[in-house]
Each structure stands twice: as C-alpha cells, then as structure tokens.
Structure 1
Amino acid sequence: MEVSGDHLKLMVKTFRRECHRIIQSERTTIHGADGMLMVLQLAMAQVNKQQGGEFKVALSDVLMAWKQLLLDKLHLPPPNFACLENYDLILEAYESFLKRSNTVDLVDIFSMYKQLRVDSDPEELVSSVQLFQFLSGRTEASELQESTVPSTPSSKSRSCSSQVKMAVRRVFFSYLSLLVNSKNDMALTLTLDVPTRTLGRQAFTDIKHAAQNNNTSLFLAVTSFVRAIQLGGKGYAPTQSDPLRKHIKGLSDFVQFLDNLEEILGEISDPSVCGVRLVATIRAALVKGRSNGDAVYTAAEETAQELKERICQLHQIQKQTANGSMIGISPARPKAYAVNHATAYGGRDTVKVLMALLDEEALTPPCRNKADLLSEDQPVLSGAEGTCLLTLFRSPEVVTGCSPEPLTKRIQSRLDLLKPKVRERVIRSQFACTYKDEDELPLNRVLDFPSTSQVPTCVHPAPKFKTTPVVDEECTSDMEPTDTAKPSLKSPNKEQSRVQQGATLGPGSGNAQNRDAGPSSRKEPGIKTQNKANKRKQVESDQYGGSENEPPQKKQPTSVSVKMPAKNVSKASNKKKLITGQAKLTSFFRV
C-alpha cells in the first residue's frame, strides 16, 4: 500500500499547528527526502575527515547508510547487511547539522505527530513501513543499474536539462527558505554564488571557519561581517587580517540582494503580490546576462511561472481557512506563538504562505537517480563552480607547486610584520628647534639650547694662528694711540668704517676671541683696547695699505720699539701674505 500525499500534508499541517509546544522556533523548516540524503552525505564526509581521511565518501556507502538511517529512526528491523563502522558518529553529525540549521526531517515529523495530534485528528495517517517506502523510493537497485549503463547522446542531453531544471528549482526554494529560516546553512550554500559573485570554494571555506569560531550560522557570519564593515566604524570594523576581507565585494552583493528581498517582504502586505514579486526578483537575478536559448534561462522561466501560480493558490486557501476559523476572534490579537509576534506586522501572512510552499516541496517524491543528486558533477549555474554541497564544504587543497616555508620562518616573518617600525633620526643643524614636524621637540631640548651670545654663530670659525707676536704690556699701552692714528692718515675713510663696523658687532660677532675680552673693554666708553683679531686687521692694513688690491708698501719705521724675535717675525710675515681678494672673503666668513 503506497502512502498518500494528502496524508503527508495533513501530518505536516498538524505539526505546523502544534509545533510551538515542543519546538522553540516557529520558523523551523523541513527537509524532504533529497535534503535528508544530502545532509547525510555531508555528515559521512565529515566523519571520514575526522577519522584521518579525506572529505570524501563513496556513493555506495551513502546509499547503505541512508537505508540504515531510515530503518533506525523509524524503529524497523535492522538491515540484513553489516552495519557501517562509524554509524554512531554519522548519526550524531547528522542530527547536529539539523539542529544547527533549525531544520527537521520527515522522520522527525512522523515521530512528533503522535505527540502533537489532538483527539479530532486521526490516530495514524502513515505507517512506518509506508514512510520508509516513500523516502527510499523503492527503486534503489534499478537506479544503480541505470547509472552504470553508458548513456546515449539523446539521453545525456535530456538528463542534462533535467539536472539544470532541478538545480534551478533548488535555488529558488533556497532563497525563499532564507527568508523564512535564516539559519538554514544548506540554503545559503546553494545561493551564495548563484548568480555569480566571485565567491568560490575559498570564500565559502573562510565563511565556514568564521561561523565555527563564533558558533553561529553561515548566514549570521556573513551578515555580521558586512554590517560591521558598513556600520561598525573604525573601532568596530574587522581587522585587516580577517580572511573575509578578501571577499568584501561578493559578500556585500549577496547581503544587498537578501536585503532587497526582505524589503519586498516587509513593504507589500498582500501575500499574492508579495510572493509574485519575490519570485520575479529571483528569476531576474538568475537570467541576467543569459540568452533565450540558454538552459538556465528556460528553466528559470518555467519555475518562476509555476511558483507564482502556486503562491496565489496557497494564499486563497489560507484566506478561506482563516475566514472560517476566526469567527468571533479579534484579528488584532495574534496568538502568543504567532509568526513575528510583538514585532512588525508586515510580511506575516506572506511568511505563512512561503512556509506552506516549502512544506509542499519537502513532500515531493525523492529524486529517482541518486547519482545525479549526490554527484560532484553538478550543472554550473554561477559560471565558476558547481553547486554540489560536498564540493563546497570541502576545503580547497594547498598548492603544491613549491614547498611551504618552515614554521620558524613564517613565525618570524609574522612577528616582523607586526613589529612597529623604528623611525630614523634625521641629523639636523643647530637651528632644529625652529623646524615644525609631526613629532615636536621636547621642552627641555628647546630650553637647553644655548643663546647666540654663548656659542659662535659661525659653524666653521676662523683658524687660529700658532705663532703670534709677543708684545710687552708697557709697549702696548704706548703703541695704542700711534697705531690708531697711523691708519687714519693713510686711509681714514676705510679704516674708520672698519673700526665702526667692529664696534657695532661688538661681542656678538662670530669670533671666539671676542668673548675672551674682559668686561672692562665693554665698560669703557670708546675703543681704547682692541682684541687680537682687531690688531691683526690693523697689521694687515698697515702692511698692505688701505686698498686690498694695491701692491704692498714698505712699512715706515715707528718710534715705538717692539720686542719680538726675528725668526717669529719672518714666519708671521710669510703666513700673512694673502692673494688678491682673500682678505675680503676672510672678513665675510668671520661675520
């Protein structure tokens, strides 16, 4: 006796009506036979990976585990073949995936119906054997034989078109499922890169790791990252080393598309109009850039038209049921367990229609060819990679073109990258305190800088002569009036200007010898005593005359006798011989 579709629908309706008694979330979605088989394949591949193998599983092993899983959950006699080695781990991984995704399978619905039914409901709609026959398809042997027979070109083209239509239909329902249950990881996996958003296996692997680290769903890992980038600001934005930063463009496009669907769901109150608008938006995204003769374009057109008609029919059925059951009850007071209770009213009726549509899809008969469903050779809808769950959940292999660097070198390179860079100190002149840079000089550096009266203003002072004429103190006092008077007779204008220039400069000149002069030389009015540098200037003017470019003249003997050794005089006269124009340059650099 075959199971009736009406009996299964009544069982699911009873679950929807009373599920708030045992399930926390009302938006729990149901996995059909195909969905259960795909989840089982992922669980087996995960267990194989944990046991030290690869993230792979053979098709024959999946079919054996599928039969054993159905018999075990339906409490039927065990199979006649040997049990799988890691069946307990596989069952645990399978149940964990369903719980994490906020989903249940048809076997769970069958088990909960006995607890949720009321007195008016029939005691048993479907038996365990009938449900087992429905889920298994009763054609496993013939399917395996068909998969081994080589296909002709005509049959291959038909199977290819049916695969594309099945994949396109799955994408439509995955988008609608995300609007009802955002925790459905399988729905996000099938829609992440369809249409193409340059989010391949590496992007999905990074999202999966982020979700595992934060113990969240894939959808929440994607949306939280994009929201933090858009609205978090500099303080709350993810770090530059976050792997998801490499996929900002694709993830932003995906979240933006879902936001558009959520906006349609919240703004349009009529479920029929809203559902038609949602299906049209998904269809436009799938057929964008495709021609009329493309297989994906044709499958999207047919699926969109079918879903629009079914949404309108479901809305009319729910509207009639609500009018008959809500007599004497105020519609302004929804039940405590109603969808979106105590939140925005927009989209509540549309979500109910979408949930009924998803439940009907879960009750469809299983795929006749398990190889087409579980094979990694899925039709390409995104233009980059297939939509097979096993391929996406498998982490990409490391490129073996070159051997990786040793661990010590990688750690050292990472530490060098995180180490703050030391800014090189620039050699500055003595006027560095007047520069304006980003990092200002400390106050003690500015205050400790000596004034111009304490240090010479010239960076390179005039060289000192090793031998200087020795003059007695008595002769110096007698010679001062004569020395000052003699140059005034020869060239009074030039010598007077030089004396006045030296007097104006005073102790502020760049010569270190001026500072040796005691305070007595500054206190006396007039210039009576001169330092050694001024005397040297007078000697040069007496020797070469008033003009620097004129040939030197013989010095006339004076009445004052100077005690000086002959050798020292000859050496000093030899050193004081200057070339033409050198005296002017020397006086310029001294100032």
Structure 2
Amino acid sequence: MEAFEDHLKLMVKTFRKESHRVLQSERSTVHGADSMLMILQLAMAEVNKQHGGEFKVALSDVLMTWKHLLSDKLQLPPPSSARLENYDLFLAAYQSFLKRSNTLDLVDVLAFYKQLRGVDSDPEEPVSPMRLFDFLSGNMEAPDLPDSLVPLTPSRQSRNYGCQIKRAVRRVFCSYLSLLVNSKNDMALALTLNVPSRSLDRQAFTDIKRAARGSQTSLFLAVTSFVRAIQLGGKGYAPAESDPLRKHTKGLSDYVLFMDNLEEILGEIPDPSVCGARLLAAIRAALVKGRSSGDPVYAAADDTTKELKERMVQLHQIQKQAANMDGTGISPARPKAYAVNHATAYGGRETVKVLLALLDEEALASPCPNKADLLSEDQPVLSGAEGTCVFMLFRSPEVSTGCSPEPLRNRVQSRLNLLKPKATQRVIRSQFACTYKDEPPLIRVLDFPSSSQIPTCVHPAPKPKTSQSVEDRFNPDANQATAKSSSEFGRKDQEVQRGVVPEQRSGNAQSGGGCPTNKRKTGIQMQSKGKKRKQLDSEQHCGSENEPPEKKQHTRVSVKAPGKNVCKASNKKKLIAGQGKLTSFFRV
C-alpha cells in the first residue's frame, strides 16, 4: 500500500510539472476519491430534477453508477450490474461540473500522465488502471473490514465521531486553501461558505447559485462581484433593491472580507513557510471562535493546523532542493504567447507552488470507508446550522404553494382571536390634549369646575370710548360722574386681581331683575345727575348691566330737538374695562 501511494505521488508530481503542456490553466486542482463521489451525487440529482423529478438520488444508485463511471473512464470491463436509464446524462453532467470548476479527477490525471510520458516509455506502468480502480473503490482497505464489523462500543463510537470531525475540519482547511489557488472551485466554496457560521443558509446558497448561472460564472465570482458592486459601485452600478442577494449582504460581505485577508497574506509574505503558517492560523482562528477548548472542533482544528504547517515546511524544503539541483529556479508559471505569467496574476508564486503540492497530496488520501456518512456529511457540527451538508446546499429549498391547510388547532385559535373583543385602554392625555382631534378639548378646571357653569358668552370688556353725546358735552356734572365711576371700576378691578373680594350686599349674584331697580349690587354705584339721563337709562337699559354686549356698531352722534333724549347707543351698551372678569368671578 505504501509503495502504491508513492507511485501515486510520483504520477501527480510529474503531471503538475508538465501540466502547462496539456491544460490551459496551471491553477487547476485535483479532486480525490471522496470529492469525486460527492460530485457524482450532485450530477445525478441534477439530472433527475431536469427530467421531471426532484433533486434527490438513492445511495444505491450513486454507488452503482460510481462503479460504471470508474470502469468506463479507466477503460476496464463493466461490472455485472446493469447501467441506469440516464447513465449517459449522469456522465455528461459529471464532466461538465469538473470543467466548469476548473478541476479534474485522479482518472484524468492518470490519462494526462500517460500522454506526457509518451509511447516509448517504460511498458511497466507504476500505476495501472486496475490498481487505481481498487484504490478509488476502497477495495485496498479490505483487510480492515472485519474490524469495522465489530459492534461499536461507546469508546469506539466516540473515536469514530472524532475521526469524522477531524476529516471534516481538514476538508474545510484544504477548501480555503484551494480557493486561493483556484477561485472557480464550486465544491470548495460550498464547504466554506457557512463554516464558521455566517447566517448563510440553503436559501442564500440557492440565490448565489442562480446568480452564477445567470451570469455564467463561478459561485465565488458571483459572490465577489455582488459585494464589490455594493462597496464600490455607487448608485449607478449598485445592485437593485430587488436583487435576492440583498438579503444576505452581511454574511457575503463577511465571507469576502475573510478571503481578502487570506489573499493579502498570500501576496505580502514571500516566504512560503511563514506565509503558510499565517494562512493556517487565520483559518484556525475563524473555526474555533466562540468554542471552548474541550470542543471536538477546537481540538481537531489545532491538530490539523499543526500537521499542515509541518507538511508545508517539508514541501518548501523539497522544492528548494529540487530548484538548486536543476540550477534554473524557473517558476511553475511559464509565460505563454497570449499571457505573461499565466494564471499567477499576484505575488506569492512560491507559496502557490507549495499550496498546489499540498492539495495534490490531500487528493491522494484514502477514501472514506463509510459512504453513507460521506454523502450525508455532518456539517452542522462545524457551522452550527441544521441541514447544511453539501448535497442539501445544492438542493433548492421547497417553495410553499399554500395548498396544504393550516392545522385545525391553529385555525380555531386564529378565529377565536378575531372574535374576542379587544379591550380599549384609555390613553392618558397631557395638559395639551385639546390639540388632539379624537377627543373634545379639555375644560379649564381652574376657571370652570363643571360644564354647567360655563358662561354663554364671555368677551373682554372693550375700552371706554372718549366720544360723548352733544348733551354731555354741555353738562359738567355728567362728565364728573362718568369720570368718578370709571376710576372706581379701575380701583375695584385692581383689588380683584390682588385677591381682595368686595363685600357682597345682596343675596345671589346670579339673580337679576327685569328693570334697573332689581339689579345686583356690586359695591359700585353709578351716580348720575339730571332727570333726562335717568330717564334715558331706564328706557335703554331695562335689563342686567352684566348682559353680554351686542355687536359693535358704528358710533353715531344724533342731535334731537329740545326735550328729547340725545345719546350714543353703542356707548351705553358696552361694558366698562374689568367688568367682564368681575362678572365671571361672581358667577362661580
């Protein structure tokens, strides 16, 4: 087994050294046995969906098609089992996925290896198709099968669970490194998108997949294009508000920011050993963030970081020795006629060589013995979300049609909630509640304690007019009486404002008679001289002097014949200054 692994490493190393002769891109990555089986499962489910079914496939069908696929590509006799109905479509979808993601499998590596060696090479092949078939199928692990059939004890179960977690963590580390080398690797993005958790669920991955298909690009390029347009686009180039990826802006921005940090480390540090250690430390910090030291993922991340770091240092030393022996020191990125430094656009080419060698060795790892655990990978342990294995990510979430009714209990409860009367809670209003439109304005409590005491009409008393009648002009006694009454009213108004209440001489202040003889006494007596003036008062003011004034009329001086009363009507009907406030006070 060890000799065969050495032959596999030699095969991949020879292919990587001369890959520029057969491949358009020198950044192509290689899929191992486990990745090949997972891609075949996705291809078969996609074909089943296109032919009127659902995005699903049975495990037995995947394993049967897997054997036929290896036999056909390795040009070996087919197995005894019959092929499935859509086998040709499965094979075409499988090859299309590899080409779209700029990757190839170990069978393609063997074919290119034979082509690069030439026809006149050694007829004894170090890696025969039959031995590669047994390796990819897992038949070389046959001696260990009896141990796997032993009933699992609790300690064995925990050990198997730990191995599964460690394998998943190592796959995530390699997927991040693979994206640095080959950004078109859709499988690597699916394994790292939500690890650690970035709130990018199945719906987010489905939106990314649809955006990539619409623009005919890879998943990683669709994500980075959207985030770059958000950050740098402006109003004219920013994605529309109706873009489905708008709902996942935060998670996608975090993912692109993390990948930018890894790209920056790769381009700034020229030493592959130091750069590799920094890259692994950054990935480890993201995986163990928020986890305790006793978490299985924490321990697996520490072990994986240590192992990969040591291996990268060894690979760097091997490559340095090989370059010194050759004496050329030529970079693996050989210029071509149509491109300068093809597929190596940024710095860190020595580190890229080390990463490619590390990923090639990871592709040669032994396949997982339990295919069921592999195809239903326990990614929730790493991401913290349910249903995030690779197969479920590529499967679009089911859209609710609304045909299935709600449970009866929910419908009855919703109906009762509608019929239940809702209690109206009285809202506490402020002192400015009169400004609200839904309630009548509040009553001033200090002025009017109850609505029954609201006066019918309250107007401020107008200022006394200086105009006099013709008869008063020639009557000095009347002028003196008017001045005296005005001064007394002013003095009483000031006393009321200071809180001094004049003594009330009669009973009820509200009782008023129909003639001047029944007027209430307010402590202020009007004195007038002359029989003509008293007669005029009795004729024009046959009522309470506190009645509200009428509309303001134009002042008009009337001149009558001798023996007639001459007065100014508007001057007699108006209240004196301060009389309105005094009247409202006594009405209380």
Report TM bin, short chain. 0.5 to 0.7
Measure, in 2, the Cα distance between the counterparts of 1:78 and 1:555.
144
Other-structure match for 1:434? none
d(CA) in 1 for partners of 2:384, 2:29: 29
* CA displacement 1:177-198 (0-9 Å, x = unmatched): 0000000000000000011111
Q: TM-score, normalised by structure 1?
A: 0.66
Calculate percent identity across the aligned residue pairs.
Answer: 71
Are the structure 2 counterparts of residues 307 and 90 from structure 1 closer, same or farther at C-alpha, using a change threshold of 3 Å? Answer: same
Rounded Cα–Cα distance in structure 2 between residues aligned with 1:250 and 1:25 = 30
| Correspondence 1:59 to 2:59 | yes
* Contact 2:267 2:348 (8 Å CA) reproduced: yes
1:260/1:398 CA distance change after superposition, 3 Å: same
- The equivalent residue for 1:304 is 305
Whole-angstrom CA distance in 1 between matches of 2:21 and 2:126: 21
Distance 2:280 2:211 in 1: 31
- Residue pair 1:185, 1:219 contacting (<8 A) in 2 also: yes
Partner SS state of residue 104, structure 2:
strand
State the AA in 1 paired with 2:156: S
Check whether the contact 1:143–1:370 (CA below 8 A) recurs between aligned residues.
no
Instruction: Note if contact 1:376-1:386 (Cα within 8 Å) is conserved in structure 2.
Output: no
Cα distance change, pair 314–143 in 1 and its aligned pair in 2 (3 A): closer
User: How far did residue 335 of structure 1 move?
Assistant: 3.1
Equivalent pair of 1:29/1:358 in contact (CA under 8 Å) = yes
Within 2, Cα distance between the matches of 1:134 and 1:142? 13
Partner residue, 1:159: 160
Q: Specify the alignment match of 1:445 in structure 2.
A: none
Between the aligned partners of 1:395 and 1:141, the Cα distance in structure 2 is: 38
Q: Pairwise mapping of residues 488-567 of structure 1 onto structure 2 (< 5 A)?
A: 548-549=554-555
**Cα contact 1:183–1:219 (8 A) shared by 2:** yes
Q: SS of the residue aligned with 2:77?
A: coil
Matching residue of 1:285: 286
Note closer, same or farther for the CA distance 1:3–1:555 as it changes in structure 2 (3 Å cut): farther
**Is the Cα contact below 8 Å between 1:195 and 1:285 reproduced in 2?**
yes
Shift of 1:115: 1.4
Alpha-carbon separation, structure 2, partners of 1:36 and 1:321? 31
How many residue pairs get aligned? The number is 426
The answer as to whether partners of 2:138 and 2:369 remain within 8 angstroms in 1 is: yes
Q: Which residue identity does 2:37 align to in structure 1?
A: L
Structure 1 portions without partners, runs of 5+: 405-489, 492-546, 557-577, 582-591
Match of 1:335 in 2: 334
- Offset of residue 580 of structure 1: 4.6
- How far the C-alpha of 1:73 sits from its partner, in A, is 0.7
Tell me how far 1:256 sits from its aligned partner. Answer: 0.3
Alignment match, 1:464: none
Alpha-carbon separation, structure 1, partners of 2:148 and 2:56: 20
| Change over 3 Å in CA distance of 1:322–1:48 after alignment to 2 | same
1:46 maps to amino acid: E
The aligned counterpart of 2:517 is: none
For residues 356 and 333 of structure 1, what CA distance do their matches in structure 2 show? 12
1:575-586 maps to which residues of 2 (within 5 A)?
580=570
Letter in 1 for 2:90: I
Deviations 1:536-565 (A, max 9, x none): xxxxxxxxxxx9346755699xxxxxxxxx
Shift of residue 331, structure 1, vs aligned partner: 5.6
Quick one: distance in 1 between partners of 2:555 and 2:244? 80
Pairs within 5 Å for 1:365-384: 365-375=366-376, 377-384=378-385
Gaps of 5+ in 2: 406-469, 472-552, 563-567, 572-588
Contact 2:323 2:329 in 1 (8 A): no
Aligned mates of 1:579, 1:384 — CA distance in 2: 94
Cα distance in 1, alignment partners of residues 342 and 186 from structure 2:
25
Distance 2:374 2:225 in 1: 32
Q: Give the aligned partner of residue 418 of structure 1.
A: none
Secondary structure of the structure 2 residue equivalent to 1:56: coil
For the pair 1:43 / 2:49, whether they are aligned, the reply is: no
The 8 Å contact of residues 381 and 387 in structure 1, kept in 2 or not, is answered as no
- Please say if 1:108 is aligned against 2:86: no
C-alpha displacement at 1:21, in angstroms? Answer: 1.7
The answer to whether the 8 A contact 2:26-2:333 is kept is no
Q: Tell me what 2:133 maps to.
A: 132
Q: 1:351-370, aligned counterparts within 5 Å? A: 351-370=352-371
2:273 aligned partner: 272
Match of 2:510 in 1: none
Once residues 265 and 390 of structure 1 are traced to their aligned partners in structure 2, the CA distance between those partners, rounded to angstroms, is 31
Assess if the C-alpha contact under 8 Å between 2:315 and 2:357 holds in 1: yes
Shift of 1:125: 2.3
Query: What pairs up with 1:315-330 in 2 under 5 angstroms?
Result: 315-325=316-326, 327=327, 329=328
CA spacing shift, 1:336–1:225, aligned 2, 3 Å: same
**Structure 1 residue 279: Cα displacement:** 0.6
- The residue number in structure 2 matching 1:385 is 386
Residue 9 (structure 2) aligns with: 9
When the two chains are superposed, the root-mean-square deviation of aligned CA atoms in Å is: 3.6
Aligned to 2:34: 34
Length-normalised TM-score, structure 2: 0.66
Bigger Cα displacement from structure 2, 378-387 vs 209-218: 378-387
